[in-house]
């Protein structure tokens, strides 16, 4: 495999994060570790109050922030107090920087270093409403695959979360299949976030569903739910998707909160989003996923877990960047 890691994930497993201060839902103890697999990136966040002016300058507030959907989920789960490990692939030149940032966030870093490709970079263009449009160079993340896997990562994991970005490259699809198979053998539940409607449409809804067969939780936003469920109404699409997959489908609807759809075709619950002053919506869905999964690790039921997720998402949108502050 071209660009095979110079330093494998087992090297990063010793990088244990510091304990987070945020209590678990209801004060219950965590049952084990969350393993998150997928993308880590450097985000270039440009918040602009006026529409982009073609062929000239547009004033903006520009900051660099750590990002990547999987890394964001891991950071928000750790912020809730969950023991969390992230498996990702980064460029060798910035690997130690990202290990330090993950350690600071309380995440154990299992990072493979790519000697040939840089760490992924995402340009997030954020308009006056807080809505973001992303330009994505996946870099080393697109090469994350079976060569980066260490089955020992599952030894203390009680839940695994896969970023949908894994499925947008051939090595990632192979890795996802390997992890799903090993999780089935160990009876470890798996959640998947479809990640992004554009690449998902290119991949194809049926291909995606075939690849994630066996996942017990799907976490689409409303555009992804419409695409996967085949209906213009996000809730109806979520119900169809839950029936089709046998998974709990949690549809993230931005300021309208979330709806939880059961495989029997009924709504388990609807959770409103707390009011928040929106600055940047980048990572809001990741924040929801991290807090939601962390709550499940305490034994919380899905609806209270979704309430915790909505609180985290509301916190996320109040500042530029996708990680907890």
| pLDDT digits 0-9 by tens, 85-136 | 999 999 999 999 999 999 999 999 999 999 999 999 999 898 888 888 889 8
Q: Which residue has the higher pLDDT, 171 or 1?
A: 171
Return the structure tokens found at 92.
């060798």
Going by their DSSP bridges, the two strands 267-271 and 258-261 should be labelled as antiparallel
Neighbours of 26 (CB within 10 A): 11
Domain boundary assignment for the chain: 9-41+68-120+138-316
**16: confidence class by pLDDT, cuts 50, 70, 90:** very low
Predicted pLDDT of residue 20: 34
Spatial CA neighbour of 255 closest among 235, 275, 269: 275
Predicted pLDDT of residue 4: 38
Res. 5: pLDDT tops 70:
no
Spatial CA neighbour of 56 closest among 68, 48, 66: 48
**CATH domain 9-41+68-120+138-316 topology:** 3.40.1190
Between vectors from CA 179 to CA 288 and to CA 249, what angle results, nearest 5°? Answer: 35
Res. 165: pLDDT tops 50:
yes
Mean pLDDT to the nearest integer, 47-53: 89
Residue with tokens 């213009």: 232
Between vectors from CA 75 to CA 175 and to CA 104, what angle results, nearest 5°? Answer: 115
Residue with tokens 């990680």: 323
85 strand-pairing partners: 35, 108
Spatial CA neighbour of 157 closest among 177, 187, 112: 187
Q: What is the rounded average pLDDT for all residues in the chain?
A: 90
φ, ψ for residue 6, nearest 5 deg: -80, -25
Calpha distance 303→212 (Å, rounded): 23
Neighbours of 54 (CB within 10 A): 6
Tens of pLDDT, residue by residue over 191-226, are 999 988 999 999 999 999 999 999 999 999 999 999
Residue with tokens 């929106």: 278
Predicted pLDDT of residue 321: 85
Kindly list the distances between the CA atom of residue 196 and the CA atoms of 145, 222, 321, in Å, as whole numbers in the listed order: 20, 11, 17
Predicted pLDDT of residue 13: 35
Asked if residue 59 lies in contact with residue 49, where contact means CB atoms within 8 angstroms, the answer is: yes
Predicted pLDDT of residue 317: 93
Predicted pLDDT of residue 183: 98
Calpha distance 127→59 (Å, rounded): 11
Calpha distance 46→58 (Å, rounded): 10
Between vectors from CA 182 to CA 179 and to CA 184, what angle results, nearest 5°? Answer: 105
Predicted pLDDT of residue 79: 96
Tens of pLDDT, residue by residue over 139-160, are 999 999 999 999 999 999 999 9
């Amino acid at each position: 495999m071209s660009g095979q890691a110079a330093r494998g994930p087992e090297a990063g497993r010793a990088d244990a994060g510091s304990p987070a201060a945020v209590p678990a839902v209801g004060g219950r103890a965590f049952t084990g570790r969350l393993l998150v697999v997928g993308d880590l990136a450097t985000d270039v966040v440009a918040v602009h109050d006026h529409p982009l002016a073609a062929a000239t300058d547009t004033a903006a507030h520009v900051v660099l922030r750590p990002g990547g959907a999987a890394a964001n989920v891991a950071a928000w789960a750790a912020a809730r107090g969950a023991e969390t490990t992230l498996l990702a692939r980064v460029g060798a030149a910035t690997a130690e920087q990202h290990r330090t940032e993950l350690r600071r966030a309380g995440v154990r870093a299992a990072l493979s270093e790519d000697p040939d490709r840089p760490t992924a970079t995402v340009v997030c263009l954020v308009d006056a409403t807080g809505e973001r449009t992303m330009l994505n160079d996946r870099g080393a993340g697109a090469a994350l695959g079976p060569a980066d896997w260490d089955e020992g990562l599952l030894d203390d994991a009680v839940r695994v979360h896969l970023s949908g970005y894994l499925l947008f490259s051939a090595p990632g699809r192979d890795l996802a299949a390997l992890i799903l198979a090993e999780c089935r053998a160990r009876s470890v539940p798996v959640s998947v976030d479809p990640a992004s409607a554009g690449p998902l449409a290119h991949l194809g809804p049926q291909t995606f569903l075939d690849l994630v067969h066996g996942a017990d939780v799907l976490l689409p936003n409303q555009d992804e739910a419409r695409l996967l469920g085949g209906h213009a109404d996000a809730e109806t699409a979520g119900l169809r998707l839950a029936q089709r997959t046998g998974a709990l489908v949690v549809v993230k609807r931005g300021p309208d909160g979330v709806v939880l759809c059961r495989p029997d075709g009924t709504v388990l619950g609807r959770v409103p989003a707390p009011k928040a002053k929106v600055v940047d919506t980048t990572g809001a869905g990741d924040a929801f996923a991290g807090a939601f999964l962390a709550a499940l690790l305490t034994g919380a039921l899905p609806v209270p877990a979704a309430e915790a997720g909505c609180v985290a998402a509301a916190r996320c949108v109040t500042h530029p960047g996708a990680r907890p502050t």
